[in-house]
């Protein structure tokens, strides 16, 4: 049985294993470690799922100071903080899977490539005065990437129960040559582990399929085209005398709906060394927390009520964010259905001298309103907004097909 480690102790152990400099101005000795990077997966021993299993605890019960870091203004736990801890946990588990015996420093750089999915219970609320447990292990491994599945648990009403489940996709790289690096293969024991492994493989196949079906590459389906055409027709002002002539210049919306162009909320962040990760880049968990808090705020302003997070879906990390960067976060409500609000947050690195932007991350969040509240319908106006609407609809409905409520 693995003993739960304090999450901060786990972070310290990670920094020692990776050889993270004590200050951000120092450089990691990457060239010296390149000789230890495997040249093929065949030379690496297979690892079992239980080999990478780890538990960590956020010891809130015994620390008022720590509680103040995690508590929100509803006397619950800030979900953004949990996302930071999940990101650290996923990296720790990944290094555990690939760690050699008696190895003091790893030759690999292992980073988060994507957050495939985080599902939260319908009425789940983490309490700020009870310890929180994070548990997980590698559930699928390819040649250079692996899936890490984690659960977050807490004792509530005298019972320790699961609050959420998360899947992270991690990739390994040679830190000196900046190319992909091989990881230890994963062996399975018994039908239960085989089913877990097959599920991870199916997640990868689903990502490939969704990439091929991207609205940037293929036309919307016939059903989707009918959907946006129906929305378009509903916006025509039939009271205008010339609406039937085909000019389409007079449009309207229902009193209870909101134009999508009016749902934007933006923020600019200066990336300080305090938020650096193991490789002196900006910590992915910090990016996730910042994007989530902006997305939640947008959903709150849109609905004029408290939104509850149901799921985080398909977070992509396309490029690292350097310390000193200006990070531009732009959120927008892109789809609504009954009490549900789908919010997309786009992150870009801004060059302060030219104003040029390079995309770094995309985040998708599904929120739900309680107390029988209904979200105002969001209505696209321009073609690009219609495509964002369909993309949001796909993420929302995809979650329900996977069993979200």
DSSP string across 308-356: EEEEEEEEEE-S--BTT-EEEEEEEEEEEETTEEEEEEEEEEE-TTT--
| Residues 6 or more apart whose Cβ sits within 8 Å of residue 355 | none
Q: Which two tokens stand for residue 237?
A: 């002002």
Matching CATH number, 5-212, of 1.10.10.10, 3.20.20.70, 3.40.50.720, 3.10.129.10: 3.10.129.10
Domain residue ranges of the chain, discontinuous segments joined by +? 5-212, 222-401
Residue 241 pLDDT more than 60?
A: no
Residue 253 has pLDDT above 90, yes or no: no
Euclidean distance between CA atoms 291 and 139, whole angstroms: 27
Residues paired with 365 in a beta bridge: 312, 343
Give the mean pLDDT of the chain: 90
Residue by residue, DSSP assigns 182-217 as ----EE--HHHHHHHHHHHHHHHHHHHHHHHT-TTT
Q: What is the mean pLDDT of residues 284-288?
A: 95
> Which pLDDT score is estimated for 94?
97
Helices (H), 71-214: 79-98, 190-212
Q: Is the pLDDT of residue 87 over 70?
A: yes
Residue 282 has pLDDT above 70, yes or no: yes
On the question of a common fold for 5-212 and 222-401, the answer reads yes
The model's pTM is: 0.90
pLDDT at 33: 58
Q: How many residues does the chain have?
A: 405
Q: What is the Cα 180 distance to its own chain's centre?
A: 22
- Rounded CA gap, 152 and 162, in Å? 6
DSSP conformation class of 32: H
pLDDT digits (tens, 9 = 90+) for 341-359: 999 999 999 988 888 999 9
Homologous superfamily of domain range 222-401 = Hotdog Thioesterase (3.10.129.10)
Q: Which pLDDT score is estimated for 284?
A: 93
Range in 26-30, 75-79, 311-315 the model is least confident about:
26-30
**What is the predicted pLDDT for the residue at 239?**
65
Residues 172-204 have pLDDT tens digits of: 998 877 789 999 999 999 999 999 999 999 999
């Amino acid at each position: 049985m693995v003993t739960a480690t304090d999450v901060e102790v786990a972070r310290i152990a990670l920094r020692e294993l990776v050889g993270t400099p004590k200050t951000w101005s120092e450089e990691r000795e990457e060239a010296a470690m390149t000789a230890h990077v495997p040249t093929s997966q065949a030379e690496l021993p297979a690892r079992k799922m239980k080999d990478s299993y780890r538990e960590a605890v956020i010891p809130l019960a015994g620390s008022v100071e720590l509680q103040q870091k995690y508590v929100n203004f509803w006397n619950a736990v800030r979900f953004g903080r949990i996302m930071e801890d999940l990101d650290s946990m996923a990296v720790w588990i990944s290094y555990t899977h690939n760690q050699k015996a008696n190895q003091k420093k790893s030759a690999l750089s292992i980073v988060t490539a994507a957050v495939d999915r985080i599902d939260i219970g319908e009425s789940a609320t983490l309490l700020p005065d009870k310890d929180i447990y994070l548990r997980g292990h590698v559930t699928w491994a390819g040649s250079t990437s692996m899936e890490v599945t984690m659960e977050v648990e807490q004792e509530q009403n005298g019972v320790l129960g699961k609050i959420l489940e998360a899947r992270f996709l991690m990739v390994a790289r040679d830190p000196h040559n900046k190319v992909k690096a091989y990881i230890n293969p994963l062996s399975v024991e018994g039908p239960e582990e085989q089913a877990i492994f097959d599920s991870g493989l199916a997640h990868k196949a689903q990502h490939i399929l969704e990439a091929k079906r991207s609205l940037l590459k293929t036309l919307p389906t016939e059903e989707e085209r009918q959907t946006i055409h129906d929305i378009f027709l509903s916006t025509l002002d039939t009271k205008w005398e010339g609406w039937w002539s085909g000019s389409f210049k007079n449009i309207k919306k229902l009193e209870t709906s909101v134009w999508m162009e009016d749902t934007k909320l933006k923020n600019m962040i200066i990336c300080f060394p305090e938020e650096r990760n193991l490789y002196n880049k900006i910590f992915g968990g910090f990016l996730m927390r910042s994007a989530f808090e902006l997305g939640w705020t947008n959903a709150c302003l849109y609905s004029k009520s408290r939104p509850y997070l149901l799921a985080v879906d398909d977070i992509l990390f396309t490029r690292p964010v350097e310390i000193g960067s200006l990070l531009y976060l732009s959120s927008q409500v892109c789809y609504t259905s009954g009490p549900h609000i789908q919010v997309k947050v786009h992150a870009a690195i801004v060059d302060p001298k030219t104003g040029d932007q390079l995309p770094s991350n995309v985040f998708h969040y599904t929120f739900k309103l309680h107390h029988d509240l209904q979200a105002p319908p969001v209505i696209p106006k321009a073609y690009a907004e219609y495509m964002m609407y369909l993309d949001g609809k796909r993420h929302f409905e995809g979650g329900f097909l996977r069993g979200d409520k």
